[in-house]
Amino acid sequence: MAYDVEKPDEQWRAELTPAEYAVLRKAGTEPAFVGEYTDTKAAGVYSCRACGAELFRSGTKFESHCGWPSFYDPKDSDAVELIADTSHGMVRTEVRCARCGSHLGHVFEGEGYPTPTDQRYCINSISLRLEPEEA
């Protein structure tokens, strides 16, 4: 798929830390309960750490106690793309940034969380950058 932001692999490696590269460009997962935004309650917009695209608003973030930041809806339905993921012997739905194709995490449905969408976008903190609202 063609993205608005495309860069050679060498450029991604130069611009991202090794940990960011492993998650964003190689679909890795950061360890649970260690991410910068797992428990953050600050108001603002969460953007893609790789390209800066706005992805989620803090108003849709909720406590799922799963070890990663959870959101029930993207900022804009076109902000993310959903891809079938059958890796690791599981059937899941991968969430990628629609602007640069970077891996963000996975979305799950029907888990019973009291949210308007019944979805949990389980997103790696390292894939995001919080832009706090002005006070």
Structure tokens at 17: 């830390």
* Residue 122 known to be catalytic: yes
Q: Three-state secondary structure along 102-135?
A: CEEEEEEECCCCCCCCCEEEEECHHHEEEEECCC
Helix (H) or strand (E) holding 54: strand 54-57
Cβ proximity of 53 and 99 under 8 Å? yes
- Calculate the CA dihedral of residues 69, 72, 75, 80 and round it to 10 degrees: 80
| Given 48, 51, 100, 122, the catalytic residue | 122
Structure tokens at 132: 């706090």
Residues tagged active-site: 122
